[in-house]
Structure 1
Amino acid sequence: MPETLSTEEPDTAPDLTTGADSAPDPIAGADSTRHLDALFVNAPLRDYGVRPRVNDYTLPVLGMAYIATYAQEIGGFNVGLLDAEAHGLGIARTIALINAAHPRWVGMNLLAPTYEMSARIAAGLHPDIALMVGGHHARAMPDRILADSRMANLRALVIGEGEPRVAALLDDHRRRADLPGVMWRDRLLGRNNVGLARGGDTARWLSPGIDTLPMVNRVFLPQDPYVAGDGRTEANIVGSRGCPYDCGFCGAAVSANPDVKIRARAPENIITELEALHSAHGTTAFRFVDDLFLGAATVIRPQMEAFTHHRIGDRFVWDATGRINVLHRADESMLDTLARNGLREVALGIESGSDRVLADMDKRISADMTERVTRRLLERGIGVKGYFILGYPGEQHEDLEATVRHIHSLWNLADRHGGNFRASVFEFRPYPGTPVWKTLTEAGHSPERLLAYSDVDLTQDGADESMRARDEFNFSVGIQFGGVRLSELRATLAALTREQHARNEQHARNRATGAAA
């Protein structure tokens, strides 16, 4: 996957109203009759008060909703969630909403591309609102964040999975010094401190039992479940935590998350959530957004046995991320089972058509392997979505050309099999904490330059924003990391995006014609 931000977007954008005018109270899940213990805030990717957003859908912040649900159901606290990205809120509006609600705590998930937005929001908080932060960026650069003068309200930086520790921080009787992996700045002494668990009981704080966590309370998610373009009610779901792979560009890489214990939910636990979502919302389509659901044979087999037993494929369809090397090793029977059990589309981190670049990324796949896996899935009526990165460090013209040829080859393969292959293409951007970040900084790139994320406007290359419906995914640090000029790279990205959009439109027409027939 090319992002630490989720990069899934729907084939056809759902019909949703998420603007501030249609949602007078965008704070979700809070009890208005009680004082607010915590407000969890997902910062916008850019200041929509300056430039309004184009699309009206973004994937739900499931991790933040898990934390809010845990604090509510296990801790008994009154909490709310403000998804400024989903509602297209500007910075000033977001600050005003927080200060008007005046919670005891504000919690924010820090990601490198949204850090500046988060820091600006933090700087505008009322002085007596305590701030806690977590997320990939908090893990990768804690000292830098703790030293940021805009973070004057910061009382706790939580590294890793947050549910038990966040709930403990909301408890006035708990000391942050007793919570492992919680950092704070002692501004009098000018040093950073970190908590330690008493009695060595660290594991229960850092890796909560995945099957003991309460199911996400969807009241915290303004866009999930939602009605998709095909009329189905869809929901996003997490089937596991952690990833055993070490892709160079990925914030979920195992080397960047040494404290995360890799584990999958029990099959019956997942099916309970599917059934609950169907009962409460009429949900018949699901999207597994984690790295592992189709990323390890030891996870796939028991999940599919349970799906078969409960006849999931007779009632539901589902999408999932998958690993190409794992699906390459799967036998015909397993792929047939996936299809019978309702698998509709697999999202694959293909990334490049150049085997040399794939080796540099430590993907453990080849372009030929990708083509074979895609063909086997398409033959069974399973759609494929491929992620691609343009401009990876060291990429040359011949590598870029190989990627363009590879995408066209996969489109042609889908046409021959009457299936659907979607290419989702991105410009490379580095994230702190990833393996390639270390390589780049050791090569002389300054962290300040590598963190200078900005929007990329592709309209001059013919990729109209309203057509893409995914404008939040196009941003860059403006550095040429390989042998291809950024202007050429972006022109290629725009051309591929235009062609994919045309294919999406044709696929939708074919689907509508088939349904009418």
Structure 2
Amino acid sequence: MLDVLLLNSPLEFQKSKNKEQYLPPIGLGYIMTYLLKDNINAKLNDCIYLNQNFDEICHLIRSKKPRYLGINVFSTNIHIVKEIVKKIPKDIKVIIGGQLVKCIYKEIASWNVEHKIIAVCGEGELIIPDIIKESVKEKPIMINDNCTVYRVDNTSIYFPEDISQIVLDRNLFKNRILKNRFNLQEACMVSSRGCIYNCAFCGGAKSLNEDICTRIRSKDSIIDEINEIKKVNPEVQSIRMLDDLFLRSRRSIKEAIEIFQIVQLKWRAMAHIYSFRNNQDLLQELSRCGCLEVFVGIETGSNRMRKKINKLGTAEEVYECIKAILNANINVKGYFMYGLPEENLEDMQETYRLARELKEASENTKAMFRNSTFQFRPYHGTLLYEQLKEKNIKLEGIQSNNSLNSIKGRTQFNYSAGNFSECPDNVLNDFIINTLKMNED
């Protein structure tokens, strides 16, 4: 009998009609690793990657008949996860996890379902095996008729304090190697947990997660995992670091250079402009050790809006920093966001102008600047979400924004919960589309 079926929950009820690449669910991979270590019979199913519709997912659950269903939840698919729980046999116990759960566990507890639900607030790889074995060594923070809630924070015995000791079975993602935009076979991994930044739109913001500490993996543990990736997938040519803190400081930049000088692979990573503000002398070394591209969350080119969303640095500093990265022959992908609360036409024009200036700056180098641009959506528990609630602004469910689907490969990102800016929908959509079209130049 199957003990646990882990689901990476779907973004839509229906199948996607578009062929897009999706990142592997690394977090569920860690949970699966520790279930298998405990000899628990478990299966991991990525509904997004397999492009399964609602009926297929429910049929899978009924046919596998697991004792427990483990499923993650996001602001974009709460309604879908709730319907999945309603449709499956009542004797299946449901474990719900993900960053969002700490903000909505009371809502989950109010669902009108007969299943026993266990909600986990925090990281789950160490506590979930004990949940399955019904041997949890801590008291829940809440119990009602059918819902039990556990919190894994700094004080919990299940909190993975030293993430260098937390391993991921890379065989779980043996078939999930992606082809990046440089036509290289690429594997994904993470080097940290928690965040040192406080962006007002992000559920991972430091001020919202004071019950956990930021943790950084050791250089040796990162090298060990990359070597394991190379062993499992010898075809891998590049590594993508998914977390925000791999390049967080001068010391970490030097460590990244040392790591990739040893493993001899190309690589890409997230970075903040402040990571390079006083470290531009290291950019050439970064390029020589195989850094193909850095991902930078720019969000807006309006200094007024940057202050409102707690984004460090001015638009001018963003430009100068990214220009220096490009001059070192490192490509840059910048993330932009339109539709922020109180954003006006001038703010949007400043964001568009910054994106255009960065694109033009790259044309004078051997590197490339591209952008990934989104419509702002308020995620549960974030600072902007709470500010909108305080103003009694109606927060609708997050739905697909089909007006943006003229850009191929974007359906997994084109969601809207309403337009909170001071510009009409058509103006908002035009700025998003026209910014994305710069990538076609």
* Cα separation, 1, equivalents of 2:58 and 2:148: 28
* Cα separation, 2, equivalents of 1:80 and 1:432: 29
CA deviations over 1:219-242 (Å, ceiling 9, x no partner) = 2x4752234464422100101111
AA in 1 matched with 2:157: R
Q: Does 1:65 align with 2:29?
A: yes
Aligned-pair CA distance for 1:307:
3.6
Matched residue pairs, number?
440
AA in 2 matched with 1:474: N
Q: Which residue of 2 aligns with 1:472?
A: 412
CA contact (8 A) 2:379 2:385 kept: yes
Percent identity between matched residues is 27
AA in 2 matched with 1:82: N
Q: Which residue of 1 aligns with 2:167?
A: 214
* Cα separation, 2, equivalents of 1:180 and 1:258: 21
Aligned-pair CA distance for 1:454:
0.9
CA contact (8 A) 1:353 1:406 kept: yes
Q: Which has the higher contact order (CA 8 A, sep 6+)?
A: 1
Q: Which residue of 1 aligns with 2:428?
A: 489
Q: Which residue of 1 aligns with 2:369?
A: 421
Q: Which residue of 1 aligns with 2:98?
A: 135
Structure 2: where are the runs of 5+ without partners? none
| RMSD of aligned alpha carbons | 2.1
Q: Does 1:444 align with 2:384?
A: no
Q: Does 1:268 align with 2:220?
A: yes
What is the TM-score with the length of structure 2 in the denominator?
0.94
CA contact (8 A) 1:249 1:430 kept: yes
- For the residue of structure 2 that corresponds to 1:99, the secondary structure is helix
Aligned-pair CA distance for 1:36:
1.3
* Cα separation, 2, equivalents of 1:486 and 1:238: 36
- For the residue of structure 1 that corresponds to 2:187, the secondary structure is strand
For residues 216-235 of structure 1, the aligned pairs below 5 Å read 216-219=169-172, 221=173, 224-228=176-180, 230-235=182-187
Cα distance, 1:338–1:164 mapped onto 2, change above 3 Å: same
- For the residue of structure 1 that corresponds to 2:157, the secondary structure is helix
Q: Which residue of 2 aligns with 1:326?
A: 275
Cα distance, 1:241–1:396 mapped onto 2, change above 3 Å: same
CA deviations over 1:310-351 (Å, ceiling 9, x no partner) = 2x4xx311000001112112141x222222221110000000
Aligned-pair CA distance for 1:43:
1.5
AA in 2 matched with 1:475: Y
Aligned-pair CA distance for 1:160:
0.6
CA contact (8 A) 1:38 1:78 kept: yes
Q: Which residue of 1 aligns with 2:71?
A: 108
- For the residue of structure 2 that corresponds to 1:168, the secondary structure is helix
CA contact (8 A) 1:39 1:107 kept: yes
Match of 2:331 among 359, 379, 383: 383
Q: Which residue of 1 aligns with 2:55?
A: 92
Aligned-pair CA distance for 1:216:
3.3
Match of 2:122 among 160, 165, 176: 160
Match of 2:239 among 279, 283, 286: 286
What is the TM-score with the length of structure 1 in the denominator?
0.81
Aligned-pair CA distance for 1:491:
1.7
Cα distance, 1:231–1:388 mapped onto 2, change above 3 Å: closer
CA contact (8 A) 1:44 1:89 kept: yes
AA in 1 matched with 2:258: E
Aligned-pair CA distance for 1:438:
1.4
CA deviations over 1:358-382 (Å, ceiling 9, x no partner) = 0111111111111111111111110
Aligned-pair CA distance for 1:44:
1.2
